[in-house]
Each structure stands twice: as C-alpha cells, then as structure tokens.
Chains A and B, each alone.
Chain A
C-alpha cells in the first residue's frame, strides 16, 4: 500500500463563479501516513479544500496540489488515485455490495480472480462478509458506511479523503464507527484527510487538526495543542467550551474589575512572556478548569442561574461575574439549586491568554459556536 504519500497544498484558493471566495489561498502539508482532520463550522471552506485535493473542484490560478512532490493540480479526479468517502455514502444503488467494492478494481481492468480476492479481503476487513450479495437498499446506515470505506480502500489509493463520513449516523453508531475508522487508518498507515464539524470526532481521530474558519486556517496542531493552547478565541470557542472574561494584563497578573488573578493560574500560549501586555483585554478559561471553593480562596463569586445534570458531572451557568454567564463544571454529587451563591476558583494554568487574536476578522455568526 502507498502508505507514505505526502500531500502538499500550495497557495490554494477557491473563488466560485458568483464571486464568493470559499477559500483564501492556503498552504498546508500533510505528511505520509498522517491523519489530518479539517475541522470547522459549515461554510468554513473545509469541504472545498478537500474537494480541491480530490480534484473535484478546480482551484484559483497560482495554486498547486502536490502528491509526493508531484504536481497533480491538472489531473482530473479519476487520474489522482485517491479513495473518497462521502457523507451520503454515494453507494451505487444498481449494484450489490460486492460490485460496489469491486467497482474501482473493475474500472482498473484487474482480472476477475484478483478482484475477487481483494473484495474478499475488504469484506473481511470491514466485517461485512455476510452482506456481500445484498442490495444497497437493504443496508443500514452503519453498514453502508462500511461498504463505502471498503470501496474506497479496495483500490489501494494514495490518499484517503473522508467528507463527514459519520455525520448521517446516530450518536451510538457514530462512536463505534469512529473507533473502527481510527483503528483502520492506523493499521493501514494510509495518508488520510478527514473533514468534520464535530470536534470530538476530530480530537479522537486526528494526528493533527487544522481548524478552519471563514476560508482560512485558524490554527493547526495536535489535538492536545489545539485544546490546551488555542491561539485565538475562535479556536478556543469551537473546540470545547470557553468562558471569556475581559480585563487587562498588569505586572501582578490579569486584572478583572479590580480583582487581580495571580500569574500562577496563567497559561500563556505561543509566547513565553507573562509580562504586562496592555493590548491583551480578553482571557479564556474552560469549565473543567474551575472549582467551587470556600469564599476566601475564590477568584469570583456569583449566583447559579441554571444547572444541567450530565451524569458524570453537573454543568452550572453562573451569573454576576461577566456579561454572559460563566460556565462551570463540577463533579459534586449533591444537587445545587438555582440562586445559590457560589465561589469559584480557576485552577492553576487554567487561564489562557490568546496570542493571536484574529477574532476581529471573523463575522459574528461564524464566531458563535455551531451545534455539537
């Protein structure tokens, strides 16, 4: 298997005929065997980028797509030797499962015997041997996606491209197939590019995540980097939940309405300095980086506005600290009633100052977090 095809995206932009710019010129490199996830809300350009890499979309002048250093920009999709998995599965309804999986092999004029061997291998790999002679209409959503994966992998593609493959499935199945896909990608060692708007899917699958917004790359990094060191508030907000507080940096720490939060709780990303930066006016912390404490240890005091029992934890919305309610998570077993005065402390390293504020560039509706 071509396990180490690298993909380079150089200066790739896309302007549609009606003049909307779906993608600002983007540079991106995907190492051989890497699983890269393109993550972002709908309309951020992630699918457009995937389709450019696939060859399903033309790119603006000046852009290039390289596979292993070789320019494929002008090759049509059928000559790029990729495997593609679609959100709608796109299985051929006029063929059986077997014929769907074997289609790419048939097109490549492989001998019947070779085809049968490979199909059998794929059926076994996806645990769908018993479905081989079924019609597509007789399959459930999860089974269809397995067939779609088998069909894409059967041709031993250089690069596997997956466009929101799990979005159409229900939560439980999504979780299960996600694990399967993860195992599959690791065992094949194939270069894979995976598009999703679901951050938990991205975190679970990716070697590296590219967060996109408004046709640009907002940040790229490992899941850990993206979550723990978001470089701007769009990323902080889109990946996980983020509380924003306004204030300013002083020599003592981050000052919020007269309260100085000590430097010990600061987690300054991207820069090594915790010194005063008068421009910095916004800081971010995550709900799980808070704890409910006695009043003398508190950073903030507020009132519980609403509570959401989530089983393993309780999520509280707390008023009276910032303009919008602060989200706090606790593993307290007891019920906390609405209106209770509580004291909150941000854990050490929990407060993040964002080095690269591109939030001003982003339209409001993009910034607002899309549904999970």
Chain B
C-alpha cells in the first residue's frame, strides 16, 4: 500500500510542480540574483532600512494594509452575521451586490474613488454646498483606504458568511442560558468560532492590499506605497536591482504575514476540530 502511494503522489503533483518551478521558483531566483547584482551587491537588500524613502514606503504600506484589513473584518463580520441570521426580501440580490467589487480591476476601483472623493467628486460637491469647503480625499491615503476597503469587503464577507452558517445556534443559546449578556456571547462564543475564517480572510485581505497596484497607480500622485515605489524605481530611475530587492522584500513581508496568520488559524482549527 505504502509504496503504491508515492508514484501516484508524484504523478498528481507533477503539473503543480512544473508550474511552480517555471513560473515561480525560476523567476524568483532570478529576481533575487538581479537584486544582488547592482553596485551595492547584497547590501542592496538593506536599502529598505537604509533608504528613508523606501522605509517610509514600507511602513506606510504595512500600516495601510493593516488598517484596511481591520476595517474590512469589522464591517464584513457585522454585515455577514446579519445576512446569515436574517431572511428578508432582496437578501440574495444584496449579497450579489456586495460581492460585485470582485469583478472590478484596481484601475476601475481607483476611478470610482475619484468619482466620489476626487476634485470633481460627489463628496466635494456636497461639502462645498454645505460648508463652502471642497472636501477632496481621493488622492491621499484616505482615498487609497476607501478603495482598498471597497475591494476587500467582498473577500472577507463571503468567508465570514460561510463560517457563520456553520455556527451551531445552540452554542449561543447555551451561553445565554448560563447568563451571558449579548456582548459576552459575541466575545466568548461567536468570535472564537469565526476566528479561523477571520484569520484566513484577513490574511488574504492583507496580502492583496500589500500588493495592490492598479488602484494606487490611478490615485497616487502623493502617495508612496511599496508597489508604487517599485514601479518608480524600475521605470523612472531604471534602478532594476533596487526594484528587484524591493520586490523580494515585499514578497517576504507579505508571505511572513500570511504564514503567521496560517499558523495561528491552524492551531485554532486543531483545537476546535
């Protein structure tokens, strides 16, 4: 039995292995080599710490992604729980609408943000009519936050809804019968049950925000997020080695975040399984 499994395993993993090798390992290796091939050599990898602009860009990107992830989790958890728990006319349509942003590329989302918060935007017009001051937020971190939040929520909400549907209503009833007020039920019962889903979807949300380029490119005249910095280094400054090192660092940081999230959710799954 044991011996028969191994050839089968190799056979089944072969397509995956080829793709992994051809389109991931080889380019990544090349990227790593290119990164070290500049004037500074391996020291180029330290630029993320040494170059203030790079470091700032890195911090800004991580902060933005973290805040977006947190906001998306909060909004999507509340909405997702409500959608699972309540039956009302138009519920299916609403769910479909909420997941609509998944269909848009980043550029379109950036465009939408400009339509709302840009110089000719809706918010600007309304705020001008009301206060005389034109409120423009599209081209700042706020605009980026709105755009990222917009495409992050659907990713989270579907996972939360799937997890919430599996939640045994008797668990909440048991907690309440033991005297737990609503906030305790949420804190002690619902959130722990949703934790694996929250971590998994939060990780995807974080990774997507770290690497998102389209939206940033559309909006970012004044913003430096890491993908933009890489783009600038590569195209404008022709600093190929620098762009490559930044790419590697971006990848590693994101991967690390995903890895931590995965191991956290893994332990909870094992505990509740």
Contacts and interface: CB of A to CB of B under 8 A. Distances in A.
Residue of A88, A103, A108 with highest tally of chain B CB at under 10 A: A103
B177 A84 contact: yes
Nearest to B174: A90
A56 B179 contact: no
Interface in B186-212: 188-189, 192-193, 195
Interface string A80-109: 011110101011111000000001100110
B180 A107 contact: yes
A78 B180 contact: yes
B130 interface: no
Interface in B158-188: 168, 170-171, 173-181, 184, 188
A95 to B, nearest CB: 8
B177 A94 contact: no
B273 A137 contact: yes
B272 interface: yes
Given A94-B193, A104-B178, A155-B179, A88 B168 contact: yes
B10 interface: no
A217 B177 CA distance: 26
B5 interface: no
Given A78-B181, A103-B188, A92 B273 contact: no
B271 interface: yes
A92 B178 CA distance: 12
Question: Is chain B's interface secondary structure helix, strand, loop, or mixed overall?
Answer: helix
Interface in A47-99: 54, 56, 76-79, 81-84, 86, 88, 90-94
Interface residues of B, number: 22
Interface residues of A, number: 27
A215 B177 CA distance: 24
B272 A137 contact: yes
Given A104-B178, A108-B179, A94 B173 contact: no
Contacts of A82: 177
Nearest to B169: A90
Contacts of B181: 78, 107
Given A90-B174, A103-B188, A81 B179 contact: yes
A135 interface: yes
A46 interface: no
Nearest to A161: B177
Nearest to A84: B177
A151 interface: yes
Nearest to B192: A94
Contact of B178 (A76, A93, A155): A155
Nearest to B87: A17
Contact of A94 (B168, B176, B180, B272): B272
A287 to B, nearest CB: 38
A77 B180 CA distance: 9
Contacts of B170: 86, 88, 90
B177 A77 contact: yes
A152 B170 CA distance: 14
B177 A83 contact: yes
A154 to B, nearest CB: 9
Interface string A218-259: 000000000000000000000000000000000000000000
A358 B273 CA distance: 49
B196 to A, nearest CB: 11
Given A86-B170, A86-B173, A90-B173, A151 B178 contact: yes
Q: Shortest 4 CB-CB distances between A and B: which pairs?
A: A104-B178, A90-B170, A94-B192, A90-B174
Interface of A: 54, 56, 76-79, 81-84, 86, 88, 90-94, 103-104, 107-108, 135, 137, 151-152, 155, 161
9 contacts: A56-B173, A77-B176, A84-B177, A88-B170, A93-B272, A94-B268, A107-B175, A107-B179, A152-B178
